[in-house]
Amino acid sequence: MRIDWWTLALQTINVLVLVWILARFFFRPIANIVAKRQEEANKLLSDAAAAREKAADAQAEADKLRAGIAAERDRLIAEAQKAAQLEKRNLLAQTSKETAKLRSEADAAIVRDREAAGQALMAHASELAVDIAQRLLGRLPSSALLAAFLDGLCQKLRALPPGERSSLTSAAGRPVEIVTATTLSKMEIVQVRSALREALSPELQFEVCSDPSIIAGIELHGPNMIVRNSWQADLDQIREELNRAQQPSRS
């Protein structure tokens, strides 16, 4: 057997050039995109934590205001009791009525202020999250976004208990809706259907539609349940966490 060393050398050079091109123009940009997305996601979580801290500060301020009003109320009641010893019964009744009215108004004012502060913080946090999400969406390529969200959705589907998987796939001939933020190309539709059928059932039928309100990502809407992997779902989860943070202050 004779080895053509020139051919072997040229093939080696071709392989090295190919490896360099892949590392230069494919793997490095993908790694940068993933790193940027992780950084933006960390910032989103940090902003959400800051919003929760602001909510906690608002709650502490409301508690402090309530304590001050309670102290003032106790002082007024003590003065009213002292004056009641010198005044007639009708003056005592009037004083008690005014004290009760003041207490009710003060409590109502505290509730209004607390609810207004909570709503303002919630609105600010939601606007901030949506703004960050939109900026992220503008920086990332649509193909990378679709692949990432589709992979996450398939992982969720594979992790479903058997009963929930059966509920999602037993649609009695009715197709399951695939919902995305933007309209998919024909190639992307084929890619999505193939991945979902592999995760659920090869015979499952799908309908594809778009809904810009989910911002970015992909959702699966079945007749009995919905599986979500979108930025809107993440924002809803953050809102729920902020709402739970507000609930103890109302007890």
Question: Would you say residue 15 has pLDDT above 60?
Answer: yes
pLDDT at 199: 86
> Taking a C-beta distance cutoff of 8 angstroms, is the pair 214, 231 a contact?
yes
pLDDT band for 121, please (50, 70, 90 cuts): low
Confidence of residue 246 (pLDDT cuts 50, 70, 90): low
- The mean pLDDT of 211-240, rounded to a whole number, is 84
**pLDDT at 208 exceeding the cut of 50:** yes
For range 170-196, the mean pLDDT:
83
More confidently predicted of 175 and 249:
175
8 A C-beta contact, residue 189 and residue 218: no
**In this model, does residue 191 exceed pLDDT 80?**
yes
Q: CB of 167 within 8 A of CB of 224?
A: yes
| Residues 51 and 121: beta-carbon distance below 8 Å | yes
Of residues 244, 245, 235, the one with CA closest to residue 125: 235
Lowest mean pLDDT: which of 37-46, 84-93, 232-241? 84-93
pTM of the model: 0.44
Distance CA 220, CA 206 (A): 9
In the chain the domains, ranked by start, together with CATH numbers, are 142-237 (3.30.2320)
User: What pLDDT does 57 receive?
Assistant: 85
* Average pLDDT for 13-32: 74
The residue ranking higher by pLDDT, 169 or 75, is 75
Residues 63-79 have pLDDT tens digits of: 888 888 888 888 888 88
Percent of the chain with pLDDT strictly greater than 70: 79
Answer whether residue 144 shows pLDDT above 70: no
Q: pLDDT exceeding 90 applies to what percent of the chain?
A: 2
pLDDT of amino acid 124:
67
What SS3 class is residue 185?
Answer: coil
Alpha-carbon span 151 to 159, nearest angstrom:
12
β partners of residue 66? none
Per residue in 82-100, pLDDT (tens digit) is 777 777 777 777 877 888 8
pLDDT at 251: 45
